[in-house]
Amino acid sequence: MRQYFTFFILAIIITFSSCRTDFDTVASSGDLKFSKDTVYLDTVFKNIGSSTYQLKVYNRSKNDISIPVVQFKKGLSSKYRMTVDGMTGNNGKIFQNVTLLAKDSLYIFIETTADITDANPTDFLYTDEIQFDSGANLQEVALVTLIQDAVFLYPNQNPDGSKEKIKIDRKDVDGFYLNENDPTNGNELLFTKQKPYVIYGYAGVPENKTVTFEAGARVHFHANSGLYVAQNASLKINGTASTTEKLENEVVFEGDRLEPLYSDIPGQWKSVIFEKGSANHAINHLTLKNAVIGLDFRNPLNTIEIKNTQIYNCVEYGILAQNAQIVGENIVINYASIAGLSCVYGGNYKFTHCTFYNNWSNPTHFAVTLSNSLAGATPETNPLTQATFNNCIIYGSNFNEFNLSKNTAAAFVYQLNNCLLKFGNTSNPDYQFKTDTEHYNNIILNENPKFYNVAQNKFNIDKTSAAFAKGNQSYIIPTDILGITRTSPPDLGAYQSKDFPK
């Protein structure tokens, strides 16, 4: 009986102690410590919410304290929002009597949505402070955000509240057609470097129209967005060589999250789709990042030139070409799930001084794959009339990085000349790199190209690389992807070798 009574008393003590919400606290004395004295919220576009950033507040004293007020200096008008240990306070702006136990800490999470008009007109910075207490005990932590102006392109809203649609793959998707006489934006078929562009949904290039991207243009695609080039429409990308790592003269396609956390996350937007029957495309100095499929060519009418182009971090393919005609020079592709370059359902291809690398670890995925068939197509096979690779590097983290998928019902013509190739199993008769001179000439097999930094998409090489001076002069492209003059004999791949800092 005594044992049951003891348990009863303990249960009462635990119940009352667990329900206690009051603490004996003393007023804050202005001795709080912070994980940082300034919180920099990375660059955002106007009126697009930022990521959430963290500030940690410490009470180093032996006393439980109460902070009379935690608030933004701009009060309820601040464009910042915060939570304090999970509490939202007054609209996420003002918090009263915040308790912080001895030798403990609390978390503050901060985000913002601001317009360019809220920022300082000289530097486009939007600033505020988080204030802890007031008077003699006032402590502040600064907040800084760069607000970037942009041209926003998006589907109109219909009278019934639905969004404007365009048809892709026989399906209606959120999208709109670019208008060369738009009353707000002017000529939407000309992308300049004056402001970045942010696209919501699919931006369509109408039939018989050409969209042009000038050197330095920046295009940011929202989630599930992309560019659609319709039948008989054309795309021209007129980037030029840059002199700094800022790629000031490149045309850049990427997602609309500007924070460093998102700089290399695949799948932030959909694709650039070239519809069947689109024509007269030319791409020069394009950097494309973080799509599902980078460039998706669907049986375009005539030859496409792709030069000095970088494609990184795509969920499925860097370039997916279906019965296309492509001449590619100084192309670099890295990190695509299924294939960096996939040429399916035949076509005609010539790639010179290109670097195809796949760092996506899956034994069924490749840097380059070629096929002359397509499941579900009518007919199922289509001739691959040419697939030539000259002075290229085809490499990656998998055992094999080159794949042939032949159907004997149609032509399958291919040739690799002076290429460095990653391929582990040579028992298949299609991959006899040393003896099959009809398809392979001067192949360097499984030797390390020693790229500068694959994780950072830096595919430069130096004199220790197996690709150094192994190219054939007869295939040389005079300058590399950076505009640097190639030597003779040339290096393999898209980059002319250089010495790296020690």
Q: Are strands 125-132 and 65-72 parallel, antiparallel or unpaired?
A: antiparallel
C-alpha closest to that of 179 among 195, 157, 203: 203
Task: State how far the Cα of 34 lies from the Cα of 53, in Å rounded to an integer.
Answer: 14
C-alpha closest to that of 394 among 372, 411, 414, 416: 416
* pLDDT value, residue 26: 81
pTM: 0.86
Task: State how far the Cα of 94 lies from the Cα of 96, in Å rounded to an integer.
Answer: 7
* pLDDT value, residue 361: 74
Q: Does domain 32-148 have CATH number 2.60.200.20?
A: no
* pLDDT value, residue 391: 98
Is the pLDDT assigned to residue 389 strictly greater than 50?
yes
* pLDDT value, residue 22: 47
Average pLDDT, the chain: 92
Task: State how far the Cα of 369 lies from the Cα of 339, in Å rounded to an integer.
Answer: 7
C-alpha closest to that of 233 among 203, 204, 202, 210: 210
* pLDDT value, residue 245: 87
Is the pLDDT assigned to residue 380 strictly greater than 50?
yes
User: Could you identify the residue written with the tokens 């599902």?
Assistant: 292
Task: State how far the Cα of 295 lies from the Cα of 281, in Å rounded to an integer.
Answer: 12
Phi and psi at 111, nearest 5°, equal -150, 170
Structure tokens of 80? 């910042």
**Read out DSSP for 2-70?**
HHHHHHHHHHHHHHHHHT------EE--S--EES-SEEEEEEEETTSPPPPEEEEEEE-SSS-EEEEEE
* pLDDT value, residue 77: 96
Structure tokens of 241? 């060589």
Which segment, 214-218, 258-262, 422-426, is predicted with the most confidence on average? 214-218
pLDDT tens digit string along 269-324?
Answer: 999 999 999 999 999 999 999 999 999 999 999 999 999 999 999 999 999 999 99
pLDDT tens digit string along 8-53?
Answer: 444 444 444 444 344 577 888 889 999 999 999 988 998 888 999 9
pLDDT band at 501 (very low <50, low <70, confident <90, very high): low
* pLDDT value, residue 18: 41
C-alpha closest to that of 281 among 210, 337, 329, 356: 210
Instruction: Say which amino acid occupies 362.
Output: N
Beta sheet of 80-84, edge-to-edge order? 33-34, 53-59, 104-112, 80-84
Question: Cβ distance 205 to 226 under 8 Å?
Answer: no
* pLDDT value, residue 500: 60
Average pLDDT, stretch 213-224? Answer: 96
Task: State how far the Cα of 453 lies from the Cα of 460, in Å rounded to an integer.
Answer: 8
Share of the chain above pLDDT 70, in %: 95
Q: In the 3-class helix/strand/coil scheme, how is 354-400 assigned residue by residue?
A: CEEEECCCCCCCEEEEEECECCCCCCCECCEEEEEEECCEEEECCCE
* pLDDT value, residue 71: 97
Average pLDDT, stretch 358-387? Answer: 92
* pLDDT value, residue 16: 43
Phi and psi at 216, nearest 5°, equal 90, -5
First and final C-alpha spacing in the chain: 80
Is the pLDDT assigned to residue 456 strictly greater than 80?
yes
Is the pLDDT assigned to residue 4 strictly greater than 80?
no
Q: Are strands 139-148 and 125-132 parallel, antiparallel or unpaired?
A: antiparallel
Task: State how far the Cα of 416 lies from the Cα of 427, in Å rounded to an integer.
Answer: 18
* pLDDT value, residue 133: 93
C-alpha closest to that of 467 among 441, 496, 439: 496
Question: Cβ distance 350 to 370 under 8 Å?
Answer: no
User: Could you identify the residue written with the tokens 């973080």?
Assistant: 290
C-alpha closest to that of 222 among 283, 180, 163: 163
